[in-house]
Chains A and B, each alone.
Chain A
Amino acid sequence: AQKITQTQPGMFVQEKEAVTLDCTYDTSDPSYGLFWYKQPSSGEMIFLIYQGSYDQQNATEGRYSLNFQKARKSANLVISASQLGDSAMYFCAMRPLRSTLGRLYFGRGTQLTVWP
């Protein structure tokens, strides 16, 4: 069974500061991919960053980086230099990498609020 846990229902950060959103996962699959999505109040789901379980380097995309600690089964999202527009719900997700894609398993999300 696959499980994604996001223990922070809400986080607050001041503009221009960095923030870390926690994500832990549980899977018995040896190969898997980890994703982070952003959902602003408008409702659309925006892909942010991806990390493969066999990737040697932590993924980075602009101000987003993924702190991947495989032994601890954690995939925390780090947002540097927070902006007011970063206020949104953030979802961590995981998919086992098999011959077919299969479903993406989502956590319950973390509501991030950036204040000026």
Chain B
Amino acid sequence: GAGVSQSPSNKVTEKGKDVELRCDPISGHTALYWYRQSLGQGLEFLIYFQGNSAPDKSGLPSDRFSAERTGGSVSTLTIQRTQQEDSAVYLCASSLGPSGSIAGELFFGEGSRLTVL
């Protein structure tokens, strides 16, 4: 498709289980971001990938969170041993590189809503 695709759109899991969230960015976009949005809150930065550079992991809240981006395209966010406070909408976004016409507008997916019981 033309936009950023995320799956699953909804995920309900039990506390302590691992979950994987997938993001398929817009073709040709070299930058990929993960943000988290808790109910009624703003966007919390998690991690950023840019091309072949080392990712900026400074927003990951704990070592239970990890993300990878394979082949410079699809990304997977993994949350191990989920906790109830991990419940949120996880938003993925992609962007052209610095040569983009307006310095990197982010295009967002529709998010993956995670509920940890």
A binds B: yes
Q: Which residues of A contact B (CB under 8 A)?
A: 33, 35, 37, 43-45, 47, 50, 52, 91, 95, 97, 99-109
Q: Which of A33, A97, A108 contacts B42 (CB 8 A)?
A: A108
- Mostly, the A contact residues are loop
How many CB-defined contacts (below 8 Å) exist between A and B? 63
Q: Is A106 a contact of B43 with CB atoms below 8 Å?
A: yes
Q: Output the least CB separation between A91 and chain B (Å).
A: 7
Q: Is B43 a contact of A100 with CB atoms below 8 Å?
A: no
Known pairs A101-B97, A103-B33, A103-B48; A43 contacts B106 (CB<8 A): no
Q: Is B91 a contact of A45 with CB atoms below 8 Å?
A: yes
12 A-B pairs within 8 Å (CB atoms) are namely A37-B108, A45-B106, A47-B106, A52-B103, A95-B103, A97-B103, A101-B97, A103-B48, A104-B106, A106-B35, A106-B43, A108-B42
Q: Is A101 a contact of B50 with CB atoms below 8 Å?
A: yes
CB-CB under 8 A from B50, the residues of chain A are 100-102
Give CA–CA (A80, B31) in the complex, Å.
Answer: 33
Q: Output the least CB separation between B67 and chain A (Å).
A: 14
Q: Which of B42, B59, B97, B111 contacts A109 (CB 8 A)?
A: B42
CB-CB under 8 A from B2, the residues of chain A are none
Indicate if B86 sits at the interface (CB-CB under 8 A).
no
Q: Which of A33, A91, A109 contacts B103 (CB 8 A)?
A: A33
CB closest chain-B residue, reference A52: B103
CB-CB under 8 A from B108, the residues of chain A are 37, 44-45
CB-CB under 8 A from A106, the residues of chain B are 35, 42-43, 45
Q: Is B42 a contact of A102 with CB atoms below 8 Å?
A: no
